[in-house]
């Protein structure tokens, strides 16, 4: 059986054409699935009976089993989806007055192993398929439409962020068709600026995404210098700041917005001093050794107060420190926001998504062995007195 959630519009058209069906039939089918949330081929009334019969024999629209659902006091909803073999991934819906954002997972676990991230601590099991990435959106959109009693044509989800579990750019082959379905007018019809890929900095894949499907880009920065970033985001050892900043600048040529969003998780005593802020300003303004050659990187800074989880050994920066850090960036002319923490009562906030992961590569174990006490790495020269 073929899972039709695995296809973008062109893929579905090709699959239909192989079965002697015209492209417009594929478009009808695609609309039934993604716009109307249908999975019963028998009910797709405008499809020829012969096609419906073929579909029933050869295809499915495969949802993910829901292992649990939690709703936060602030309306944030988190689903745990069972993806088989002991793995489960999480998806979070964040309602706001003017939008509904869905935070989607791209992998069961993550191999990058960032210090401050609960997914990273769990290690890596496997990539999700396109169908598993899209099943999260398909389920959330159509479940919420019913639950919120939306009228025809109203959308529950207006924005998608690839900020759940996993590093989306380490699962590029599955990500790309999923993004195309999100953007497709016959699919979810989201504009490129309402779909955000967040990456810890997989430089070659940032270049691919720019060519193939330049949606909004968020880059998880977290440190203004290679030494500290090497430790917090181990991928930095492969793609250091100078290369990352070049890739960001390159991405802007085709990006739907004229800035990159940098995410910066505020860790008490680790990356939150005035000296860190000053290095960060130098970095994005092109006065840092990593950017002196290439020049400034137009950006917005999004500060995320660290969301603690057991075993991280890290602490959230005090609110006054976050404010002072933000002020310092703003005074230097950098647009800076502090992310509101949503759904932390149900562990649905950034970096708290843990799901369940069979750590097949034992990254977590290897990382454990390599652990250096984080405060020791934090170069004294970078620390401003507080």
C-alpha radius of gyration, the chain, whole number: 22
Binding mask 282-321 for ligand SAH (x = CB under 6 A): ----------------------x-xx--------------
Q: How far apart are CA 118 and CA 222, in angstroms?
A: 15
How many residues sit close enough to ligand SAH to count as binding (CB under 6 A)? 15
Identify any residues that bridge with 124 across adjacent strands, giving them in sequence order. 109
- Distance between first and last Cα of the chain: 62
Of 110, 114, 248, 350, which is the active-site residue? Answer: 350
Stretch that binds ligand SF4, among 109-117, 128-136, 295-303, 374-382 (CB under 6 A): 109-117
304 binds, among ligand SF4, ligand SAH, none (CB under 5 to 8 A by kind): ligand SAH
Q: What is the DSSP letter of 68?
A: E
**CB of 177 or CB of 351, closer to ligand SAH:** 351
Which residue from 72, 127, 171, 198 is in contact with ligand SAH, where contact means CB under 6 A? 198
231 near ligand SF4, judged by CB under 6 A: no
Residue at token pair 């060519």: 211
Q: Is 350 a catalytic residue?
A: yes
Helix (H) or strand (E) holding 132, with range, is: helix 130-147
Asked if 187 and 181 touch (Cβ cutoff 8 Å), the reply is yes
Task: Count the neighbouring beta carbons within 10 Å of the beta carbon of residue 383.
Answer: 16
Q: How far apart are CA 69 and CA 143, in angstroms?
A: 12
DSSP string, 179-222: HHHHH-TTTT---GGGEEEEES--HHHHHHHHHH---EEEEE--
Q: How far is the CB of 125 from ligand SAH (least distance, A)?
A: 15
183 binds, among ligand SF4, ligand SAH, none (CB under 5 to 8 A by kind): none
113 binds, among ligand SAH, ligand SF4, none (CB under 5 to 8 A by kind): ligand SF4
132 binds, among ligand SF4, ligand SAH, none (CB under 5 to 8 A by kind): none
Binding mask 203-222 for ligand SF4 (x = CB under 6 A): -----------------x--
Q: Is 90 a catalytic residue?
A: yes
Burial 121-140 (b: 16+ CB within 10 A, else e): bbbbbbbbbbbbbbbbbbbb
163 near ligand SAH, judged by CB under 6 A: yes
Residues binding ligand SAH (CB under 6 A): 116-117, 163, 167, 198-200, 220, 263, 265, 304, 306-307, 350-351
Residues binding ligand SF4 (CB under 6 A): 110, 112-114, 117, 119-120, 166-167, 200, 220
Q: Which residues are catalytic?
A: 90, 350
């Amino acid at each position: 059986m073929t899972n039709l959630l695995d296809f973008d519009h062109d893929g579905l058209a090709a699959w239909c054409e192989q079965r002697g069906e015209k492209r417009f039939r594929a478009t009808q089918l695609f609309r039934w699935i993604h716009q109307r949330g249908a999975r019963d081929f028998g009910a797709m009334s405008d499809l020829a009976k012969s096609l419906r019969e073929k579909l029933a024999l050869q295809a499915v629209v495969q949802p993910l089993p829901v292992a649990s659902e939690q709703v936060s006091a602030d309306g944030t909803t988190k689903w745990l989806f069972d993806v088989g073999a002991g793995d489960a991934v999480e998806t979070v819906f964040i309602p706001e007055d003017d939008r509904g954002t869905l935070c989607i997972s791209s992998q069961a676990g993550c191999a990058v192993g960032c210090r401050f991230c609960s997914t990273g601590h769990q290690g890596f099991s496997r990539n999700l398929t396109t169908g598993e990435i899209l099943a999260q959106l398909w389920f959330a959109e159509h479940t919420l439409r019913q639950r919120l009693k939306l009228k025809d044509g109203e959308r529950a989800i207006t924005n998608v962020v690839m900020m759940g579990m996993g590093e989306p750019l380490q699962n590029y082959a599955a990500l790309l068709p999923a993004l195309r379905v999100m953007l497709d007018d016959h699919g979810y019809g989201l504009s490129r600026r309402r779909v955000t890929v967040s990456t810890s900095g997989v430089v070659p894949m940032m270049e691919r995404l720019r060519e193939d499907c330049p949606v909004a880009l968020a880059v998880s920065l977290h440190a203004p210098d290679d030494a500290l970033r090497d430790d917090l985001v181990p991928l930095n050892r492969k793609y250091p700041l100078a290369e990352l900043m070049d890739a960001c600048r390159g991405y802007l040529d085709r990006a739907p917005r004229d800035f990159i969003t940098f995410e910066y998780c505020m860790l008490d005593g680790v990356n939150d001093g005035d000296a860190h802020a000053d290095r960060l300003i130098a970095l994005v303004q092109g006065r840092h050794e990593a950017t002196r050659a290439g020049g400034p990187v137009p950006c917005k800074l999004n500060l995320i107060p660290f969301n603690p989880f057991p075993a991280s050994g890290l602490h959230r920066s005090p609110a006054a420190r976050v404010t002072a850090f933000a002020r310092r960036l703003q005074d230097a002319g950098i647009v800076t926001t502090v992310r509101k923490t949503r759904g932390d009562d149900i562990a649905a906030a950034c970096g708290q998504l843990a799901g369940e992961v069979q750590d097949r590569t034992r990254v977590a174990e290897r990382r454990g062995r390599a652990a250096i006490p984080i405060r020791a790495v934090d170069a004294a020269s970078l620390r401003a007195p507080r």
